[in-house]
A and B are shown apart, each in its own frame.
Chain A
């Protein structure tokens, strides 16, 4: 399974946009890029996924580089509830988690 690299932690202020980066230089053509987040004491929660094109949903946007070797999860206006660990995962049939990025949101 191809690996991803994410910063250990990031900080944001409430109501500001947040860009969470992910590098995946060994991605294969069939790997989907998934993002999940895990709030304290909860199970992971699906955020968004994509293959080649940028994706938007009610929670976030996913920007995928043209060569697919990196991607960015965009939270348009961070709230305190967005404080969580965010996992970037390459998936063909199962999710293999890395260590993720811990996002802190300050009032």
Chain B
């Protein structure tokens, strides 16, 4: 079965270190998204991509970057981790059918702690 997987599921890192969170989907979806969710809040969009070599900034993109070199993967990089980036991160993907007329599939999340 097709799926979307995130790795690692849990990570602890130190302030100032570069961290990369992986997202891999096997649906061959063009659209991929990264969100963060803080305790008691909804999800906020960090970056998204509509296809290979395409990346776009979301609501809270400062301190994060993404690159899309193939259809299956959209890694999220924290250039210099900060305590404010302690959060749960979710990756999602969807087909690029008529905009809005498709469901998105979410990964199980990566819990990142910056100490």
Within 8 A of B (CB), among A21-55: 30-32, 34, 36, 42-46, 49, 51
Is B104 in contact with A95, judged by CB distance below 8 angstroms? Answer: yes
Is B100 in contact with A30, judged by CB distance below 8 angstroms? Answer: yes
Check if A58 is an interface residue, CB within 8 A of chain B: no
Is chain B's binding surface mostly helix, strand, loop or mixed? strand
Is chain A's binding surface mostly helix, strand, loop or mixed? loop
**How many angstroms between the C-alpha atoms of A98 and B44 in the bound complex?**
9
Q: Determine the chain A residues whose CB is within 8 A of the CB of B44 once the complex forms.
A: 97
Residues of A within 8 A of B (CB): 30-32, 34, 36, 42-46, 49, 51, 85, 87, 91-100
**How many angstroms between the C-alpha atoms of A51 and B68 in the bound complex?**
31
Cβ contacts B80-112/A at 8 Å (1 or 0 each)? 000000000010100000011101111111000
